[in-house]
Amino acid sequence: MKKKILALAMCVALLAIAIVGGTLAYFSDSDEATNTFTVGNVKIDLTEPNWEGSGSVDAPEVYAGEALAKDPTVENVGKNPCFVRIQVTGLDCLDKNDPDMLIHIRNANYVLDAVNADWEVKGDYIYYKHVLAVGDTTATPAFSAVVMPTALENGDGTTEFDIDVVAEAVQAQGAKPSWSAVQTMTVDEIAAWFTTCGM
């Protein structure tokens, strides 16, 4: 008789567990959220409209003191706002050992060794002082012309010399905790951000 009571009690307990388990199933829930995103990019185009227009036409036969139109301008063709800088090399291409043979840059106000408004020289680079928004072009070119040295003497008319301009850009977003702080960054801060970004 005790075995029957024990068996009956076990059946009742199992039934109770099954009922409670079934009841608990009604109180369970699940949910899912899908967050879709795309990865942006930083992409720029460097152009020199006045070089293409007249500078390159005058370049084959330069003379002492001549100014050749050269106006590095950067457009943001990527998906994210960015900071921009350019580097100019080859200004000493005529004679690396003679400072009198140095080619100079000139701004729009005809000042030698000066850059245009919206740009600032720091170290080996010329920095654009503003965030370059998506689809925008720098408000001014970095400079407006390159000027041949007045000490330039007769050449052979065939040797070619190169002045190279390289533009670089890094994302502006994330440079500071807030976007308003990013938009007011100094050139020193922009230069430091380029270093942080591995440039």
Residues 92, 107 contacting (CB under 8 angstroms): no
Under 8 Å between Cβ of 154 and 170: no
Higher model confidence: residue 33 or residue 12?
Answer: 33
Q: Two tokens at 36?
A: 């879709």
Q: How confident is the model at residue 178 (pLDDT cuts 50, 70, 90)?
A: very high
pLDDT at 34: 66
- What pLDDT, in 10s, does the model give residues 79-100? 999 999 999 999 999 999 999 9
Bigger pLDDT: 1 vs 147: 147
CB 169 within 8 A of CB 84: yes
User: Is the model's pLDDT at 14 over the cut of 90?
Assistant: no
**What predicted TM-score, i.e. pTM, was given to this entire model?**
0.81
Kind and range of the H or E run holding 194: helix 187-196
Res 59: pLDDT: 87
